[in-house]
Amino acid sequence: MAGYPARVWTNRLTAEQADLVRALAARAGTADGIDPLNEEARFALREDAGEHVLLTGVPGTVAGYLQWQPAYGTAQLVVDPDQRRRGLGTSLLAALDDRPSRGSGTQGSSVNGIWAFGDLPPARGFARTNRLTPSRSLLIMDCSLAGMPAPEVPDGLSLRGYADADAAELLAVNAAAFAHHPEQGALDAAGLAARMAEPWFDPAGLILGFDAQGLAGFHWTKQVGGTGEVYVIGVAPRTQGRGYGKVLLRAGLAHLRRTGSDRVLLYVDSTEVVAIRMYESAGFRVARRDVLYAPDDQEQP
């Protein structure tokens, strides 16, 4: 096809390429009403993380982009709204068959799926055309903070904001709480530092709960442009069943309300039934879904 963009793999984007990808994502986000790249993908644009496919045609432009995360076996892709329905998305998907890590035997070299944020109708059509089926979904839930009650902190539990000396204990509790979670459970010191370097980070909004044995759990809140987020809630496995998750949730929501948020959202895996019930009891409702689509000849969980 005349003028069909060339497909280029790279494990390190130049600053110019990263800016072109951000501009492409902004155009797609405006057209679709949802960001095509999640937080992790945007970190990778500036940290030489992951592997990348660019569809380049006209010099100084990017018509399509795919980011591959070998550690998780997942990809995210986006096509310029003005270049759609030309097979560019399928071309990006096909790039996974000749990715650099293919056949290397390294962990995460198999394709676990492609994320569809918002699971929009075009994404579902793309999945059907390419024989991809849902394998995992994240629920995006939200609620109003109006009238949200203050937390009732039980005896033996104390709450405070984060301090630098808490880093090691926070990472240990996070790893234990999310041992089953492929992304959150992998958070390390570098990842923690990167997130704490973000302009939205507020130590007072990372609420830690301590009991006599140390860190019992935490609620990391996030606030951007007046919108609050339950960024991460983690409870040490040794404390499960004591209701600490609910206490930490309420404490974080109270903090977000005090600091100016009137609504709050969160992301939760659709299989986390206990957590979903806790959020529903606090007034959260499902606003949308993000779906991981996997090859339909792959064994599903």
Taking only the tens place, the pLDDT of each residue in 263-286 is 999 999 999 999 999 999 999 999
Cite the beta strand spans of 168-247 per DSSP E.
206-211, 214-224, 227-235
Residue 68 counted as domain residue: yes
Most confident of 67-76, 87-96, 213-222, 290-299: 213-222
What 3-state DSSP class applies to 125? helix
Q: 107 with 159, same domain?
A: no
CA 92 to chain centre: 21
Q: In angstroms, rounded to a whole number, what is the distance separating the alpha carbons of residues 270 and 275?
A: 9
Q: 162 with 225, same domain?
A: yes
Residue 286 counted as domain residue: no
Q: List pLDDT tens digits, range 140-172.
A: 999 999 988 888 999 999 999 999 999 999 999
Ranking 23-32, 73-82, 109-118 by mean pLDDT, the lowest is 109-118
Residue 296 counted as domain residue: no
Q: 152 with 257, same domain?
A: yes
* Amino acid type, 298: Q
Residue 135 counted as domain residue: no
Q: 157 with 247, same domain?
A: yes
Angle between helices 189-196 and 39-47 (to 10 degrees): 100
Q: Write the CATH number for 72.
A: 3.40.630.30
Q: In angstroms, rounded to a whole number, what is the distance separating the alpha carbons of residues 255 and 221?
A: 8
Write down which residue in 111, 130, 159 finishes a domain. 111
* Amino acid type, 111: V
Task: Give the pLDDT confidence score for residue 142 in this predicted structure.
Answer: 96
pTM: 0.85
Q: 84 with 174, same domain?
A: no
Q: 98 with 176, same domain?
A: no
Give pairs for 172-181: CB < 8 Å, separation 24+.
172/215, 173/215, 173/216, 173/217, 173/218, 173/234, 173/235, 173/236, 174/218, 174/232, 174/234, 176/236, 176/237, 177/217, 177/234, 177/235, 177/236, 177/237, 178/234, 181/269
Domain coverage including residue 13: 6-111
Write down which residue in 59, 85, 111 finishes a domain. 111
Average pLDDT of the residues of the chain: 90
Q: 183 with 104, same domain?
A: no
Asked if residue 19 has pLDDT above 50, the reply is yes
Q: In angstroms, rounded to a whole number, what is the distance separating the alpha carbons of residues 137 and 292?
A: 6
Task: From residue 243, give the alpha-carbon distance in Å to each of 131, 151, 219, 289.
Answer: 43, 12, 13, 27
For the residues of 14-63, what is the DSSP string, one character each?
Answer: -HHHHHHHHHHHHHHHHHHSS-SS-HHHHHHHHHT-SEEEEEE-STT--S
**Total domain count for the chain?**
2
Residue 222 counted as domain residue: yes
Write down which residue in 85, 111, 137 finishes a domain. 111
Residue 180 counted as domain residue: yes
Name the β-bridge partners of 52.
10, 67
Q: 198, 206 in Cβ contact below 8 A? A: no
Task: Give the pLDDT confidence score for residue 119 in this predicted structure.
Answer: 96
Q: 45, 61 in Cβ contact below 8 A? A: no
Q: 299: pLDDT confidence band, cut at 50, 70 and 90?
A: very low
